[in-house]
């Protein structure tokens, strides 16, 4: 379910602040990683803040073109997979340089976590044995949170209003 926070509300300000802080940290993290690995990359395998309970970002593998792969130090990078014109590589962490790069790849500073989001927004988990991670988004001056069906946010927090997927898409399409 998708909820929109009412503008000016406590929920709105909280979601906006988390999104802005995560965007800032994500930008700094990718800059650190690109400097550490020593080459440009656009695609990676790993975790993003919306995909973990502790809301971290961690690069586990990198997709590079075949030309870049040929130039890389094979003692530092290992080929894991080849698809189309790309090679998925992983860091070899046994060397001093590999350990140093690995430390940078693990250096994302989480802004918040799953529990804190629920606490700050006054939300209660459902009685279901499974859970879905809350996904926050700030776009076009609107704040959104996507939750699983077992959390009824609008009943727990009057600052959140349930919206449809088509309404959500309409509000963010200008991006």
Q: Read off the pLDDT of each residue in 141-163 and give the average, rounded to a whole number.
A: 90
Tokens at 71, concatenated = 């130039």
Task: Kindly indicate the confidence band of residue 153, based on its pLDDT and cuts at 50, 70 and 90.
Answer: confident
For residue 30, which of 16, 43, 15 has the smallest C-alpha distance?
43
Opening angle at CA 56, ends 121 and 91, nearest 5? 170
What tens digit of pLDDT does each residue of 76-132 get?
Answer: 999 999 988 899 999 999 999 999 999 999 999 999 999 999 999 999 876 766 677
pLDDT at res. 85? 86
pLDDT at res. 149? 81
pLDDT at res. 174? 67
CA distances from 116 to 16, 53, 82, 109, 134 (A): 15, 10, 40, 15, 11
pLDDT beyond 90 at 57 = yes
CA distances from 166 to 13, 63, 104, 170 (A): 24, 33, 39, 6
For residue 143, which of 22, 27, 1, 18 has the smallest C-alpha distance?
18
What tens digit of pLDDT does each residue of 59-81 get?
Answer: 999 999 999 999 999 999 999 99
Please state the pTM of the whole predicted model.
0.88
């Amino acid at each position: 379910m998708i909820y929109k926070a009412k503008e000016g509300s406590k929920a709105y300000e909280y979601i906006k602040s988390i999104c802005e802080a995560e965007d800032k940290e994500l930008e700094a993290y990718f800059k650190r990683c690109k400097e550490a690995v020593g080459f440009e990359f656009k695609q990676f395998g790993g975790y993003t803040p919306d995909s973990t309970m502790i809301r971290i970002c961690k690069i586990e593998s990198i997709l590079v073109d075949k030309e870049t792969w040929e130039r890389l130090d094979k003692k530092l990078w290992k080929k894991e997979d080849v698809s189309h014109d790309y090679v998925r590589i992983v860091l070899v962490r046994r060397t001093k340089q590999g350990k140093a790069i690995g430390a940078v790849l693990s250096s994302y500073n989480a802004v918040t976590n799953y529990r804190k989001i629920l606490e700050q927004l006054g939300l209660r988990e459902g009685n279901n044995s499974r859970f879905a991670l809350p996904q926050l988004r700030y776009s076009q001056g609107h704040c959104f949170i996507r939750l699983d069906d077992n959390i009824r946010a609008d009943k727990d927090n009057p600052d959140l209003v349930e919206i449809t997927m088509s309404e959500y898409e309409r509000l963010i399409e200008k991006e």
